[in-house]
Structure formats: C-alpha cells, structure tokens
A = this chain, B = another copy of it.
C-alpha cells in the first residue's frame, strides 16, 4: 500500500470512465435508485458472484456474459427490486434492460453488465426503468461517482467509495470503487454489490485471477450476520486508458497492481462491515501461525462471525473464552497449547492458558473503540496466534446489538 495514495473520485477517478446516479422511480421512497458506470472503450472485465443456488436473474446473466467475453463497456445497477425468485420473466427483464442501455450508448448488448438490489421476489419496475435509462445516460459524467455510489444503496446508512493512485513508469494509474450492503433492514435486501474501475492495461486472465484473490482477502472475509445474498456481485473493469505498459504476467508490476486492487476491495469491504445493521463498531480479527493463509482466514472469519464474540464486544466485555472457543470450532486443526489471544494491547491468553489482565482497562478499550462508531477509523482489534505456521489472514465484522434484532424483527406485520 506504500505505493498507492488515496485520491478522490471513486469509480470515475481512473481515466475514461463516466458515472451517474438518478432517481428513476424504482424505489417507493423516491430516493436515487438507478446507477450507471461506463467506460469510453471496451474494458477487461472480471466478476465474482454469489455462491448461493438461489440467485437473481442478473447474476446468471452477468456470469454468462463474462464467460462468453471477458470484457465490457457498462454496468447498470437498479435498486429497489432484487429481481430474484422472479423466474423467466426476471431474465427477460434483465435482457431488456441490457438491450435498452446498449441502444442508448450505441454499444453491443453483450458489453452491458446488470446488477440489481432490493426486495426478493419483486420484478424490476420496467416502466420506470425504460424512462430511467436515457436519463441516467444523459446524466453520466466523469464527476458522477458520488451520485452512482448513492443510487446503488438500499438500507445503507452511508455511501461507500474509494480511489487509489500510483505510477507505472512515471504515468499515473488509478483504481476506484463503490459498494453497498449492510444486512437486511428491509426484508431480503441483503445484497452486497461492489464495482471497481481501473485504467491500467492488464490481460484478462491476470485481472480475473487478481480479482478472485482480492475478493478472498476482502469481501469474502467480512460477515455481518452470516447470510449470503441472492444478488452478491463484484465486478472490476480495467480499460487501459492510463496508457501504461500492458501487464500480462505476474511480476513486480502485476504485484503492485494487485496490491492496489486488494486495498480498494478491503477498504470497501471494511466499510460494509462498519455499516452492518445495528453495528456500533468495526471488529478486525488477525490470525497468524496457521498452516496456510486459507486456514488463517477461516479461523479469523469464524471468530468475527461468532454471535457470542459479537455480543461480548457490544457489551464491552473482554471475553477471551469466547474468542478461544470460536477459534477451536473453525474446522482448522491446531494445538490449543499454542493459542495466544490479544485484544488491543491486552494479552488475554498465552500458551493456551488464560492470563491475568486489567479487565476494566480492556473494557475501556472496547468502549473507546466503539465510540469511534461509523466514521472514525477506530476498530476493535483481536490478534490470535494458533501455532507457528506461515499462514496469516484477517476478517472484519461488527458487534451484535439490540438494534440488529430490532431492525430484523420488526418488519412487515
């Protein structure tokens, strides 16, 4: 990350991208609900999608498009109706959306990717979308990032955006991203959507592999409530408009690019965890000493996803026993006599044995971190060593509060 500097502009920070977000009348509230990101030229495109077998029509559509052709010009995202559990009509609506946008942009329909978020079981309001598509194209500009970031939100408390810049052989290269997701305040609006743009020149197989690895170290390492949505989508475009040398194989340039891509994805993923339903703080769990990175990530995610650990953090209770118990059930083999647990600066357990520690001070640490709440960078940090292996991994989550239950229990009836 030392190579990359944070800049403004989100997905329109990289060269050759425009974006927009408008209120097209899809959401009953009248809030912005239609977003567009598009590249001046065909961009290398890679995607990572929900693994659920219950999927939205747009997920199947994007997966098929990207299998046929690893490039795209535009991403259209509608918020309000998830277009999941909508059968053949849902797929027809997705295809029509792509056709309409392609016509408006004078590009091929197979260069259009579609994402939806909102209520499961509801079709997209096609009348509103048909009039919205020309409007969102007309509104799109190189300054459109913030409007797009806002229009993809459903129940998110804040829009989430980031951009980073570095240089390759003296020329600037930029990566930008926006995302949404916070759980399910309205029923079933669990979608995690993330869109990343980049102006580097990179081969498609390399870009795809980088995105897969970056997702494993970011979005796949966050959990708010353990529920995977029907619409989860991460798409990354790379359009070569930085005019920097093409990156076609692993090496220092590719590693640098991947580091930036991973940093963008991690920033966005942490923003989602921080905005988790009812959350009062971000929790980061760092695991070391595992047999390999995948094992470390698995332990980290199990700890950060434990309802008991999450409740303890909400209660500002430095409860090492719950951390140890969650580590033990993660499905990764280790010798419990090697377990070491640190909370902030407080060493709670070493060699598998609980240590005496300043409990009021540790509780105060949790209180202070939580006071940072959403916007500050304060985070509850848990460091867990499970052995002496080389594997490391990090996961992010949030605490479990009364508000989580309230938000999810008090809905329709």
Contact = CB atoms under 8 A, between A and B. Distances in A.
Interface of A: 50-55, 85-87, 119-121, 184, 187-188, 190, 225-230, 305-308, 311-312, 314-322, 324-329, 332-337, 339, 349, 352-354, 359-360, 363, 400-402, 404-406, 408-413
A87 B408 contact: no
Given A52-B325, A53-B328, A228-B329, A349 B408 contact: no
A400 B411 contact: no
Contact of A188 (B55, B311, B314, B321): B321
**Copies per complex?**
2
15 contacts: A53-B333, A53-B335, A54-B324, A54-B336, A85-B336, A121-B320, A121-B353, A227-B307, A227-B326, A228-B329, A229-B325, A307-B404, A314-B409, A315-B409, A315-B411
Contacts of A187: 312, 317, 319, 321-322
Contacts of A406: 402
Contacts of A327: 54
Contacts of A85: 321, 324, 336, 349, 352-354
Contacts of A333: 53
Contact of A328 (B52, B349, B404, B413): B52
A360 B412 CA distance: 10
Contact of A311 (B335, B408, B413): B408
Given A408-B308, A409-B311, A51 B329 contact: yes
A85 B328 CA distance: 11
A413 B317 CA distance: 6
A249 to B, nearest CB: 35
A76 to B, nearest CB: 23
- A-B complex: 6 closest residue pairs judged by Cβ atoms: A54-B328, A315-B409, A311-B408, A188-B321, A52-B328, A228-B329
B54 A311 contact: no
Consensus secondary structure, chain A interface: loop
Contacts of A337: 87
Contact of A411 (B52, B317, B336): B317
Contacts of A306: 226-227
A357 to B, nearest CB: 12
Q: In this complex, which of A120, A305, A318, A408 has the most chain B Cβ atoms within 10 angstroms of its Cβ?
A: A408
B402 A325 contact: no
A225 B316 CA distance: 19
A322 B412 contact: no
Contacts of A335: 53
A191 to B, nearest CB: 10
A55 B328 contact: yes
Given A53-B328, A120-B321, A319-B412, 17 more contacts: A54-B324, A54-B336, A54-B352, A85-B321, A85-B353, A121-B353, A227-B306, A230-B324, A230-B325, A307-B307, A311-B405, A318-B413, A319-B411, A359-B412, A363-B413, A402-B402, A402-B405
Given A52-B328, A187-B317, A412-B319, A87 B405 contact: no
A396 B42 CA distance: 51
Given A308-B190, A311-B409, A408-B308, A325 B363 contact: no
A270 B280 CA distance: 34
Contacts of A324: 54, 85, 120, 230
Contacts of A404: 307, 311, 405
Contacts of A188: 319, 321-322, 325
Contacts of A319: 187-188, 411-412
B405 A53 contact: no
A348 to B, nearest CB: 10
